[in-house]
């Protein structure tokens, strides 16, 4: 029974009607799903599920129900195209390939309660974005910068595809070529990193994620 429900909705979702493509939640008006946003995710805060999801990342959904007489019926997640996105938990999606898929909210008896569409895209670059302590975006950092000893720069590293910010959670690798000169300190708020100038000299900061890399050359002055 569940198999038939999935097949019918997949056909309807991926047919000629493009309404809902890009992640407009609740095509049937029964469920509203939004990504759980990190503190500094431009795609998540600015576009929600309308933003493409970065291939190789995961997305945690916050789901609210509009079903009359129920504040939240038990549901399972299913994907109309598991070559693009796969459910990995009760509210978590893994973006595994480029393309479009419908995400189905399915009751325990196999009935489809609602669906949303998502789009997965491969990132083409990482950008190092600078923020102030209040979380306001100050802009993209330059390829090279000068700091003074004691300076702390709050940054986030986010994936983009041809200028489009991408949605998703991912593991970020980072290293300083001279930690005694410039140190990278994860902030208590997830997704934030503090680049701290410790001593005069030069250092290069390398960030890697999702098959891409970003480099920041720094000179620390006394």
Q: Rounded CA gap, 204 and 39, in Å?
A: 26
Please state the pTM of the whole predicted model: 0.82
The percentage of residues in the chain with a pLDDT greater than 70, rounded to a whole number, is: 83
- Per CATH, the number for 2-121 is 2.60.40.1080
Q: Rounded CA gap, 185 and 154, in Å?
A: 10
| Strand, helix or coil for residue 185 | strand
Residues 95-116: what's their mean pLDDT?
Answer: 90
Q: Which of 99-108, 117-126, 193-202, 209-218 has the lowest mean pLDDT?
A: 99-108
Instruction: Confirm whether 2-121 and 125-221 share one CATH topology.
Output: yes
- The residue ranges of DSSP E strands in 16-95, in sequence order, are 31-35, 53-54, 58-65, 75-79, 85-87, 92-95
Angle at CA 171, nearest 5°, toward 165 and 172?
Answer: 75
Q: How many CA atoms lie within 13 A of 57 on its CB side?
A: 25
- Label residues 21-31 b or e (16+ Cβ within 10 Å = b): ebbebbbeebb
* Among the listed residues 92, 101, 143, the one whose alpha carbon sits nearest the alpha carbon of residue 121: 101
Residue 73 pLDDT: 61
- Per CATH, the number for 125-221 is 2.60.40.3440
Residue 93 pLDDT: 95
Q: Which of 5-9, 33-37, 58-62, 140-144 has the lowest mean pLDDT?
A: 5-9
Give me the residues paired with residue 129 across strands: 140, 156
**Does residue 98 contact residue 137 with C-beta atoms inside 8 Å?**
no
Where along the chain do its domains lie? 2-121, 125-221
Instruction: State residue 65 phi and psi, 5-degree precision.
Output: -110, 140
Other beta carbons within 10 angstroms of residue 212's beta carbon come to 19
Whole-number Cα distances in Å, 202 to 71, 120, 199, 221: 57, 38, 9, 9
Q: What is the pLDDT of residues 29-58, one digit of tens each?
A: 777 888 887 656 778 777 888 889 999 999
């Amino acid at each position: 029974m569940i198999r038939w429900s999935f097949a019918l909705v997949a056909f309807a979702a991926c047919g000629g009607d493009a309404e809902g493509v890009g992640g407009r939640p609740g095509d049937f008006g029964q469920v509203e799903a939004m990504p759980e946003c990190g503190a500094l995710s431009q795609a998540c805060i600015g576009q929600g599920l309308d933003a493409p999801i970065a291939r190789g990342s995961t997305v945690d959904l916050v789901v609210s129900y509009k079903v009359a007489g129920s504040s939240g019926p038990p549901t399972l997640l299913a994907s109309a195209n598991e070559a693009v996105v796969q459910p990995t938990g009760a509210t978590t999606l893994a973006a595994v390939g480029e393309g479009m898929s419908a995400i189905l909210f399915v009751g325990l008896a196999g009935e489809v309660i609602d669906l949303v569409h998502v789009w997965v895209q491969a990132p083409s670059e990482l950008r190092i974005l600078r923020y102030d302590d209040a979380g306001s975006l100050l802009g993209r950092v330059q390829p090279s910068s000068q700091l003074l000893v004691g300076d702390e720069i709050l940054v986030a590293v986010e994936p983009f595809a041809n200028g489009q910010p991408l949605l998703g959670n991912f593991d970020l690798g980072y290293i300083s070529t001279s930690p005694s000169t410039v140190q990278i300190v994860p902030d208590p708020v997830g997704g934030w990193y503090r680049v701290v100038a410790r001593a005069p000299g030069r250092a290069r900061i390398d960030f890697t994620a999702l098959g891409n890399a970003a480099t920041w050359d720094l000179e620390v002055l006394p």
